[in-house]
Structure 1
Amino acid sequence: MSHTLPPAEAGAVELARRSARYGALDLVLQPVWIYDFDRRRVHWANAAALKMWKAESLRELCRRDMGADMSATVARRLAQYQADFITHAAVFNERWTLYPGGTPVVLNLTYSGHRLDDGRMAMLSQGKPALDELPESTRSVEALLHTAVMITLYDLSGAPLYRNPAARASVRSPGETLRERIVDPASGERFMAALAHEQAANFTLAVHTAQGERWHEMSARHCHDAVTGHDAVLVSEADVSALKHTEAQASFQALHDALTGLPNRAHVMERFAQALADIRDAGMAAALIFIDLDHFKDVNDTLGHAAGDELLVHVARRLRNAIRSSDQVARLGGDEFLILVASKDIVGEVERVRQRISQAIAQPLSLSGTEVRVTPTLGVSLYPRDGLDVETLLRNADLAMYCAKERGRNDMAYYEEGLAVAMRQRTSLEADLRHALERDEFEVFYQPRVCVHTRRVVGAEALLRWRSPERGLVMPDDFIPVCESSGLIMPIGLRVFEQVARQQAEWAARGLDLQISVNLSPRQFSHPGLLDGIRAALRVAAGRPARLEIEITESMLLARDERPREVLDAFEAMGMSIALDDFGTGYSNLAALQRYPIHTVKIDKTFIQGLDTDRPLADMIVSMCRLMRLTVVAEGVETCDQLDWIAGRAIDQYQGFLCARALPAAAFEARFIDEPLAA
């Protein structure tokens, strides 16, 4: 039968056993005690230690929780001791300030490892009073213990002589040398050379630590070892990894586009210059390829800016994948990108890059559930033929890109001498357009819409012309793109609408009561002031909304938000009808028409003028429109055969050269008022 002693008796027996083991240490006049790391308590102490700790008895001292008010710095230092005692027979001689009963006691302590009966590692502490220490010296020792700055004393070979707790916690092993600590050997040698030459050195270096590679601000100076008097090196280190990361991040952000991660314009101007110098030294030629996405504004205006940003991210990724590792790609802003390529056969390489870029970008992309395709227009300037610096090459590539745009987009053009003149002409055109708006030089022409069954004019489409005193009659394809890019399209569009509303009312009063349609561009449709502007124009012109129709294209219905529906509902609430122009060539489908207040569908002329094999789609469109009770208008009817074809499909109306081209208001009135159209 076993017998268990009460806790008090068991404790007394244990203390008696310890005293029997360590009793000889009571003869030592200096304080000696054994510290249990794991339990944070004194395991045993001699009489001098009991006196130093101001303990009533060994039992009372062993019951004290030494970790209750222990600082984090002291706790880390004790953990370092325990680890070093376990890994190797370490002995430490240090000056500590202890606080028995809250009173500071300065001791010169010798610490060594000691195994307890159960095999755990403890610490044998032997102290000698440091009675001659000045207060400043005591405080400096305390500061060295608690500071986060890593302080290490090395001999001239780089071997460590002393590390404060912060330094000891940082190294991978206690014996790590100064050269082993520095990641880059070449940087380490420069550090040591500077120290030898100047007697002091200050470097920011990547160092090995117990936590992995870090960036440290390392300051070193020559000194003497206070123990041996030999020459030594005192090194202090501060961890600046966070600052280094912030600096690197700021530098990256300053030179890279936040959306795509590609180098930005600042990067191009700074780094491409050096790249050109390297290309010149290598005896090669180079090309700057300026890339602009066709109709990118339509994506922004219809699907929203979030979808536009998503498109740019995908394009950036495709461009990176389409070029060689030696080429460089950047985003200049908006939908403009730049690629720098080098080769001895630069023209051949540009053609290869063009093919890869065109194929990569032309792949369909799903944005917010809508399939979108975009194409690139490219402008190219060659180095050194078209310029010797980045700024000149960039300007010339930009001019070449505009030339390619004017040729029809989805194209590539090389810079030529005359392009600068063309750009000046475009700038002059924009200035003239602003003057034209001020001088009221814009005129509306009207193309008749004819009833297929009665062959009478029932409506008209308003088409803009510019009657310039200097340029003559200018067609819209020659000036509308500039109006769009310059922002003039909004004031011009509202003036056109007002003119059309007034003309419709005048004709109706004279017996020609036609429904007249007015086109809206995507830029106008997305403008926040559109509805207020239309309402104001109707008031000024005393227009009849029921006889006015707004024409939009399919792409304007692609936005994922509710704005298209809200705008169209507002037009319908004003009394106007809505026509969908060029149907069948864009992204939408017939089912989508049910979401919007569409009254008329205009079938694109490509279906009317195409081969018979291309017309089944037109048949399907007409059938679906009939089911939805929509008016169907055929565009581009130029021959009697085409008219017979649409008549056979019961299409409601048509317009095209077979009836008449667009005419000025006076000519339109003279030809069609109260007159049937000849068959």
Structure 2
Amino acid sequence: MSREHDAPPRHVAARHDALTGLASRDEILALITAEFDCQSSDRHFSVLLVDIDGFREFNDALGPAKGDELLCMIADRLTASLRPGDTIGRLAGDEFVVIARRCHSIAARAMAAGFASIFEPAFELGNRQLTLTASVGVASSTDTDISATQLVHNATAAMHAAKAVGRNKHHVFTDELHNTNRTRLELIERLRGVAMVERELTMAYQPIVELATGTVVGAEALIRWNHPELGLLMPDTFIPLAEDADLIVPLSIWIITEVAGTIADWQARDIHLQIGVNVSPAHFATGTLATDVIDIVDTYRIEPGRLALELAESQTLHDLDAVHYQLRDVQRHGVLIAIDDFGSGFSSLERLATLPVDILKIDKSLTQHLDSDNLHRRRAMTTLCTALVDVTSTLGKDTVIEGIETAEQLQICTDMGVTFGQGHLLGRPMSSAALEQFIARHSTHSESA
């Protein structure tokens, strides 16, 4: 959204965002350039970049039309909060930018902090009440090495620094952030260009074990990045970058294709495992997930029951209709559906019963308290996990309990009737070749026992 304070009503033109009527990205950059052209030693200005926390999840759950309606409501609140003479625009998606004229960084910091109160009243959307927060980055025209584009980049870097601390935060751009932002942009460009092509990305496989026998029945596929300069990067380092840069869908397709190739190789050598792959909400949102997966499964001739798509509980149960048909389509092609991190989102069991789901993976946040020194917490979590296992069994779904890290946790899970387990005690993530050796060792051990 983009609009100048006290400007005429919204209209759609090249200078304005088509959805909200606020200033467009190009118009914002032009206005910032104009401010630089007339800037004097006593006339400074600041740019505030406002990013809505978790908006992607709201948009996926509500659908694009309601998501657009919510963006317009946000734009109205932000516009109403501006000082006379300030300008607000919409850069893209859920990112808004404010040009605060005659405003030093200290005053801009206070303005950014004040944005929190704008989001405190819930947004009423139909029969829903949505509570939102925003992360804000501040950059000043007094910063060095500045152009309009660079100033917006600086504000963006500050916004990401705010998000790194947590939701509903603000941060002012500093010279230290300049290097951090440069590294971030370099990672995005490498991920966009050569990381997938030059095989820098690899898959690790964490075993899933049948608790009663110790037999390895499958694994969860986890992506890693062997960066030539930074070394091994974990997904929490680069997956958010892929999401920000709209690279998550091609990355998701790459992951599923890579795993399918490994499964096909194992099938040819009579190694039969069930491999789970995490699926991004953004891939669901495109509406192409089912066809993408089916094409890959058909290309590699994956046997039924060998590939499982793992979806986070929160993303799957928020909007049942949006995912139901895609899940059904892939199930018809022999792909299993697993709900990951189950128990962390306190979902409705009624909604769970209607989902086309084969496997429930109980979240490690519950498992870690099974052997807690706090007896009350231990009893509560044991009761909760036992109830979840009973429910999933009644629904005819398999249960995997995640995060088993101690022998006592393993014994408790076995006693409560959990069928399958996953965690560092049972096996850490490893390469496909290492997993084959791991299976061979455990098979020999089981036979000798």
Contact 1:464–1:476 (CA under 8 A) maintained in structure 2:
yes
| Structure with greater Cα Rg | 1
- 2:94 equivalent among 329, 335, 351: 335
- 1:412 equivalent among 170, 191, 196: 170
Residue 428 to residue 252, structure 1, CA distance change in 2 (3 Å): closer
- 1:516 equivalent among 266, 275, 284: 275
- Establish whether residue 393 from structure 1 lines up as the match of residue 151 from structure 2: yes
Hey, what's the Cα distance between the residues in 1 that align with 2:37 and 2:182?
31
Residue 436 to residue 260, structure 1, CA distance change in 2 (3 Å): closer
- Establish whether residue 670 from structure 1 lines up as the match of residue 428 from structure 2: no
- Establish whether residue 636 from structure 1 lines up as the match of residue 396 from structure 2: no
Partner amino acid, structure 2, of 1:576: V
Hey, what's the Cα distance between the residues in 1 that align with 2:294 and 2:169?
41
Hey, what's the Cα distance between the residues in 2 that align with 1:430 and 1:344?
32
Q: Secondary structure at the match of 1:546?
A: coil
Hey, what's the Cα distance between the residues in 2 that align with 1:630 and 1:503?
26
Aligned length: 431
Q: CA-to-partner distance for each residue in 1:397-450, whole Å, 9 max, x for gaps?
A: 123223444566654332122444444433432343321322333322110112
What is the match of residue 306 of structure 2?
A: 547
Structure 1 residue 306: Cα displacement:
1.0
What is the match of residue 333 of structure 2?
A: 574
Hey, what's the Cα distance between the residues in 2 that align with 1:525 and 1:312?
21
Hey, what's the Cα distance between the residues in 1 that align with 2:437 and 2:309?
25
Structure 1 residue 291: Cα displacement:
1.0
Structure 1 residue 579: Cα displacement:
0.3
Structure 1 residue 461: Cα displacement:
0.5
- 1:425 equivalent among 183, 193, 196: 183
Which stretch of structure 1 is more off in the superposition, 546-555 or 587-596? 587-596
Hey, what's the Cα distance between the residues in 2 that align with 1:267 and 1:499?
43
Residue 365 to residue 512, structure 1, CA distance change in 2 (3 Å): farther
Partner amino acid, structure 1, of 2:155: A
- Establish whether residue 658 from structure 1 lines up as the match of residue 425 from structure 2: yes
- Runs of 5+ in structure 1 lacking a partner? 1-246
Contact 2:105–2:139 (CA under 8 A) maintained in structure 1:
no
Q: Secondary structure at the match of 1:436?
A: coil
What is the match of residue 4 of structure 2?
A: none
What is the match of residue 116 of structure 2?
A: 358
Partner amino acid, structure 1, of 2:418: I
Contact 1:299–1:307 (CA under 8 A) maintained in structure 2:
no
The structure, 1 or 2, with the larger RCO (C-alpha pairs under 8 Å, 6+ apart) is 2
Using the size of structure 1 for normalisation, the TM-score is: 0.55
Hey, what's the Cα distance between the residues in 1 that align with 2:128 and 2:400?
26
Partner amino acid, structure 1, of 2:50: I
Structure 1 residue 657: Cα displacement:
1.1
Structure 1 residue 249: Cα displacement:
6.2
Q: Secondary structure at the match of 1:287?
A: strand
Contact 1:581–1:603 (CA under 8 A) maintained in structure 2:
yes
Structure 1 residue 529: Cα displacement:
3.8
Residue 497 to residue 384, structure 1, CA distance change in 2 (3 Å): closer
* Root mean square deviation, CA, Å: 3.9
Structure 1 residue 284: Cα displacement:
7.7
Alignment of 1:256-405 (within 5 A): 257-265=17-25, 268=28, 286-320=45-79, 329-341=88-100, 347=106, 349-361=107-119, 365=123, 372-385=130-143, 393-405=151-163
Which stretch of structure 1 is more off in the superposition, 508-517 or 576-585? 508-517
Q: Secondary structure at the match of 1:439?
A: coil
* Structure ranking higher in strand proportion: 1
What is the match of residue 3 of structure 2?
A: none
Structure 1 residue 668: Cα displacement:
1.3
Structure 1 residue 508: Cα displacement:
5.3
Which stretch of structure 1 is more off in the superposition, 388-397 or 469-478? 388-397
- 1:592 equivalent among 348, 351, 357: 351
Residue 344 to residue 519, structure 1, CA distance change in 2 (3 Å): closer
Contact 1:554–1:581 (CA under 8 A) maintained in structure 2:
yes
Residue 263 to residue 500, structure 1, CA distance change in 2 (3 Å): closer
Contact 1:272–1:390 (CA under 8 A) maintained in structure 2:
yes
Residue 295 to residue 372, structure 1, CA distance change in 2 (3 Å): same
Structure 1 residue 626: Cα displacement:
3.4
Structure 1 residue 555: Cα displacement:
4.0
Contact 1:307–1:368 (CA under 8 A) maintained in structure 2:
no
Hey, what's the Cα distance between the residues in 1 that align with 2:200 and 2:143?
43
Structure 1 residue 297: Cα displacement:
2.7
Contact 1:582–1:605 (CA under 8 A) maintained in structure 2:
yes
Partner amino acid, structure 1, of 2:237: D
What is the match of residue 476 of structure 1?
A: 235
Q: Secondary structure at the match of 2:236?
A: helix
Which stretch of structure 1 is more off in the superposition, 253-262 or 520-529? 253-262
Contact 1:601–1:633 (CA under 8 A) maintained in structure 2:
yes
Contact 2:10–2:22 (CA under 8 A) maintained in structure 1:
no
Hey, what's the Cα distance between the residues in 2 that align with 1:505 and 1:270?
54
Q: CA-to-partner distance for each residue in 1:330-378, whole Å, 9 max, x for gaps?
A: 433321112345788853x445444443354366556565665543222
- Establish whether residue 526 from structure 1 lines up as the match of residue 285 from structure 2: yes
Partner amino acid, structure 2, of 1:662: P
Hey, what's the Cα distance between the residues in 1 that align with 2:224 and 2:103?
49
Q: Percent identity?
A: 32
Hey, what's the Cα distance between the residues in 1 that align with 2:411 and 2:80?
52
Partner amino acid, structure 2, of 1:501: A
Hey, what's the Cα distance between the residues in 1 that align with 2:196 and 2:65?
34
Q: CA-to-partner distance for each residue in 1:69-108, whole Å, 9 max, x for gaps?
A: xxxxxxxxxxxxxxxxxxxxxxxxxxxxxxxxxxxxxxxx
